[in-house]
Amino acid sequence: MLSVRVVKSRQGNRSSLIRWVVKAAVLLLSVVIAVAIVLQFYSDPIKALTKVSISSRNSRMTTKKSDGSCVSKKSCPLDHFSFFLQSGAANVVPPKICINNKVVIGTILNNAGVGLNIVKLNGRTGEVLRTEHYDMYSGKIEPLVEFLKNVEMGSVVLIASYDEPATKLTDEARNLISDLGSSVVKSLGFRDSWVFVGGKGKGPLEKSNFEKHVKNDQANNKYKNWPELIQMEGCIPKFME
């Protein structure tokens, strides 16, 4: 009887040990996963958040870099300004505008919005004079027209689209942007992706070469109901006195 009791006790201890090991392994795995998620969030919070959002909206959607920093550090001659533009990705990831490797509009500043995101620069000094965004789907066109009419001579204007840039655009607004050097704005359509750098006055941006455009095309869209996002960078020549 004594030997039987000893065997049962050992078997009970062995079962308890196995259960304890399994619980410890599950707990350790949970901690590792939690730490990995926290590290990913703090190293790239926008990417971590938008990855979940985009996956839930559209399994086909993928994005390029969408964090708060400028994607690259552009070096330009002393008589130029560097810029980086990124249109929005569908209606999920906001656009980004950088001047001299500094974010001026973007998620990190919480100042981007649906429609047209615009930065106005002093074309001689590179100073940021104004940042705006205009809702071109449910907003009013008058504030954009007023802004465009008051762009001073010698100014540089940078524009990045987000979600829907064209519904509210009137012929007057399109003509005013065309006068800044755009060759695309008159044909800009519903949910197109578009980035543009232009200027006002006789200077290096009178006829802009800084412009990219992707049409909304259901057969070829990267994000189902939206085309792919656009990135563009370069050096803007200063306006001379």
Question: What is the average pLDDT value for the chain, to the nearest integer?
Answer: 81
Assess whether pLDDT exceeds 50 at residue 134: yes
Q: What is the pLDDT of residue 60?
A: 39
**Three-state SS sequence of the chain:** CHHHHHHHHHHHHHHHHHHHHHHHHHHHHHHHHHHHHHHHHHHCHHHHHHHHHHHHHCCCCCCCCCCCCCCCCCCCCCCEEEEEEECCECCCECCEEEECCEEEECHHHCCCCCEEEEEEEECCCCCEEEEEEECCCCCCCHHHHHHHHCCCCCEEEEEEEECCCCCCCCHHHHHHHHCCCCCCHHHCCCCCEEEEEEECCCCCCCCCCEEEEECCCCCCCCCCCCCCCCEEEEEEECCCC
Average pLDDT over residues 91-113: 94
Assessment of whether the complete model's pTM goes beyond 0.75: no
Q: Is the pLDDT of residue 9 over 60?
A: no
